[in-house]
Amino acid sequence: EAGVTQSPTHLIKTRGQQATLRCSPISGHTSVYWYQQALGLGLQFLLWYDEGEERNRGNFPPRFSGRQFPNYSSELNVNALELEDSALYLCASSLGVGGQETQYFGPGTRLLVL
Amino acid sequence: GESVGLHLPTLSVQEGDNSIINCAYSNSASDYFIWYKQESGKGPQFIIDIRSNMDKRQGQRVTVLLNKTVKHLSLQIAATQPGDSAVYFCAENTRGTYKYIFGTGTRLKVLA
């Protein structure tokens, strides 16, 4: 069974540009989570999607947004990139029943903002 | 691969010894907890979870202990192996909040 996949693996952008990160959950999983992991910090919760709906978002500005498609894959968009957005962005998926199921993580997208 | 966090607390353990990694969680209402392992350059990997109606749960070579009174979680790894070297962090969740809170992690170094 394929795990959570993310693309691209690496992304280099300049300040002010937009970045789009993609995630495909494990087959059968309906919940997708996005996290930011900056160097020296723990995982910071960004967004949680379940059945196409945004269930919750973390303490990030509105320029961080996303969506979940009918096939449960997801996109994270970061507008007006800032240098401090440089981080590893991790996507996780779970069965999405009740919100307390094991999250399985993808390998991440490393975003570098110059 | 790149290191995950440059200023994490580090636990150095001799190969074959037992490791104990601790985590203080923040929300007394949290009722679900997970331990993850993250190797350099990889995404976090699920190790073991525990619900608040339990105080101990065992897996293969790992045991999680939960002390709700002091909001403390620990991960015990038996007979630590070189492949256990990684960053370990806990996560907490309260049912219905649709949010997980992650600890910053502890780096485990296994000495040969």
Q: What is the pLDDT of residues B73-100, one digit of tens each?
A: 999 999 999 999 999 999 998 887 777 8
Check whether the bond before A107 is cis (ω within 30° of 0): no
More reliable by pLDDT, A66 or B3: A66
A2 interfaces chain B, CB cutoff of 8 Å: no
**Mutation site, A46, A90, A100, interface B, largest B CB count within 10 A:** A100
What per-residue confidence (pLDDT) applies to B6? Answer: 47
The pLDDT confidence band at residue A99, using thresholds 50, 70 and 90, is low
Percent of chain B with pLDDT strictly greater than 90? 74
Question: Is residue A98 scored above 70 in pLDDT?
Answer: no
In which region does residue A52 sit, left (phi positive, over 0), alpha (psi from -120 to 50) or beta (all else)? left
The tens digit of pLDDT for each residue in B18-56 reads 999 999 998 899 999 999 999 988 889 999 999 999 999
A39 interfaces chain B, CB cutoff of 8 Å: yes
Nearest-Cα distance to chain B for A80, in Å, is: 25
CA Rg value for chain A: 13
The tens digit of pLDDT for each residue in A38-64 reads 887 778 999 999 999 998 899 999 999
Residue A47 burial by Cβ neighbours in a 10 Å radius (0-12, 13-18, 19+): buried
Stretch B50-67: mean pLDDT: 96
Question: Is residue B110 scored above 80 in pLDDT?
Answer: yes
d(CA A78, CA A83): 12
Q: The tokens of B77 are what?
A: 């790894």
d(CA A48, CA B100): 10
Nearest-Cα distance to chain A for B36, in Å, is: 10
Q: The tokens of B20 are what?
A: 């104990």
Percent of chain A with pLDDT strictly greater than 70? 96
According to the per-residue pLDDT averaged within each range, which of A53-67, A95-109, B1-15 is highest?
A: A53-67
CB pairs A-B closer than 8 Å: 67
Question: Is residue B7 scored above 80 in pLDDT?
Answer: no
What per-residue confidence (pLDDT) applies to B78? Answer: 97
Q: Which residue of A has its CA nearest to B94?
A: A100
Q: How far is CA B98 from CA A49, A52, B53, B93, in A?
A: 9, 14, 20, 8
A90 interfaces chain B, CB cutoff of 8 Å: yes
Q: The tokens of A104 are what?
A: 């399985």
d(CA A26, CA A4): 5
Question: Is residue B3 scored above 70 in pLDDT?
Answer: no
Q: Which residue of A has its CA nearest to B89?
A: A42
The pLDDT confidence band at residue B106, using thresholds 50, 70 and 90, is very high
End-to-end CA distance of chain B: 21
- Contact assessment for residue A95 and residue A84, using Cβ atoms and an 8 Å cutoff: no
A42 with B32: Cβ contact below 8 A? no
Nearest-Cα distance to chain A for B1, in Å, is: 12
Q: Which of A40, A41, A100 sits opposite B93 (nearest CB)?
A: A100
d(CA B76, CA B4): 21
Question: Is residue B4 scored above 70 in pLDDT?
Answer: no
d(CA B79, CA B74): 16
A42 with B102: Cβ contact below 8 A? yes
Percent of chain A with pLDDT strictly greater than 90? 79
- Pick from A26, A35, A44: which is nearest to A109 by CA? A35
